[in-house]
Amino acid sequence: MDKPVTPARSSGIPLPSLSGGFLASLRRDLLIAARHKAELTNPLVFFLIAVTLIPLGVSPEKSTLVLLAPGIVWVMALLATLLSLDGLFRSDFEDGSLEQMLISPQSLYFTVMAKILVHWLVSGLPVTLMAPLLGLMLHLPTEGFIPLLCSLALGTASMSLIGAVGAALTVSLRKGGLLLSLIVMPLYIPVLIFGASAVQTAILGGAIGMQLAVLGAFMALAVVLAPIATLGALKISSDG
């Protein structure tokens, strides 16, 4: 009498709860990521090499690099995230598990959210943690390290979310990688502007509450809206 009634399918097996579905999806994607550990290092190595290109191509002078450092680290972090986006849905699309996900009775919002969370954990977060090291190589002043970490943490999360929409739109295209960069980069520009501005303002001694608040607002907006857009785009890509 007092047993809670769970909604059941006609087969009698109860549907998983929302959190159950989310955690199952999370576990699956983390397991897949753990089985391809070599791929975890790809964004980091790209980040490192790309940052190295600037002193070699522009100027190794400390005076120049000090001015450019916040922007270089932020731009290269953006590019590293961008390049890792192509694989977000592609392997699932190619073996058909994406379609299975879309027709499952699970709340797809949380399934997509789990995928994006795992993507951020394996690309955005490592890039954020590695950024101070690269800042050191570019003579970033010490006042910039904590703002760099904070702004990149918020920024890479927003970028994973916004980029997921682009990834979902281009997943069915064979050569979708470049097109993905083209359509996602204009949407990244506001995040980049505020993120780099946070680090630069902190180096000059100013308060960065405003920039972090705006970055947080971008992330809040993206957390709510991006999975919905991603979902619509995934359905379009799977049908077409």
Partner 1 sequence: MAWQWFHRLGSPRWFYEKTTPWLPWLAVISAALIITGIVWGLAFAPADYKQGNSYRIIYIHVPAAFLALAGYYIMAISGAVGLIWKMKLPYMVMKSAAPIGAILTFISLVTGSIWGKPTWGTWWEWDARITSMLILFFLYLGMIALQQAFQHRDTADKASAVLALVGMVNIPIIYKSVDWWNTLHQPATIKFTSKSSIDPSMLYPLLVMVIGFYVFYALVLLLNTRIEVLRRENRTQWVNDLVANPK
Task: Identify whether the C-beta of residue 116 lies closer than 8 Å to the C-beta of residue 226.
Answer: yes
> What residue type is assigned to position 116 of the chain?
I
Q: Calculate ∠ Cα 141-143-147, nearest 5°.
A: 115
Determine the size of the site formed for partner 1 (CB under 8 A). Answer: 23
Q: Provide CB contacts within 8 A for 210, sequence distance 6+.
A: none
Comparing CB distances to partner 1, the nearer of 134 and 233 is 233
Minimum gap (Å) between residue 93 Cβ and partner 1: 13
Identify the bridge partners of residue 49 per DSSP, sorted by sequence position.
none
- Tokens found for residue 29: 């994607």
Task: Please choose, out of 47-55, 64-72, 86-94, 173-181, the segment that lies near partner 1 by the rule CB under 8 A.
Answer: 173-181
Name residues contacting partner 1, limited to 206-225 (CB under 8 A): 221
Question: Which residue from 69, 73, 116, 169 is in contact with partner 1, where contact means CB under 8 A?
Answer: 169
Q: According to the binding rule CB under 8 A, does residue 187 interact with partner 1?
A: yes
Question: Which residue from 25, 172, 201, 211 is in contact with partner 1, where contact means CB under 8 A?
Answer: 172
Question: Which residue from 18, 53, 133, 179 is in contact with partner 1, where contact means CB under 8 A?
Answer: 179
Closest C-alpha among 34, 29, 21, 71 to residue 51: 71
Q: According to the binding rule CB under 8 A, does residue 67 interact with partner 1?
A: no
Minimum gap (Å) between residue 165 Cβ and partner 1: 6
Question: Which residue from 106, 158, 160, 237 is in contact with partner 1, where contact means CB under 8 A?
Answer: 237
Comparing CB distances to partner 1, the nearer of 81 and 128 is 81
Comparing CB distances to partner 1, the nearer of 45 and 220 is 220
Minimum gap (Å) between residue 65 Cβ and partner 1: 20
Q: Provide CB contacts within 8 A for 39, sequence distance 6+.
A: 33, 87, 122
C-alpha distances in angstroms, 104 versus 98, 143, 150, 234?
10, 49, 37, 14
- The CA radius of gyration of the chain, in Å to the nearest whole number, is 20
Task: Identify whether the C-beta of residue 171 lies closer than 8 Å to the C-beta of residue 90.
Answer: yes
Minimum gap (Å) between residue 160 Cβ and partner 1: 15
Q: According to the binding rule CB under 8 A, does residue 189 interact with partner 1?
A: yes
Comparing CB distances to partner 1, the nearer of 173 and 204 is 173
Say what the alpha-carbon torsion angle 202, 206, 207, 213 is, to the nearest 10 degrees: -70
Interface ranges with partner 1 (CB under 8 A): 162, 165, 169-170, 172-173, 176, 179, 182-183, 185-187, 189-190, 221, 229, 232-233, 236-237, 239-240
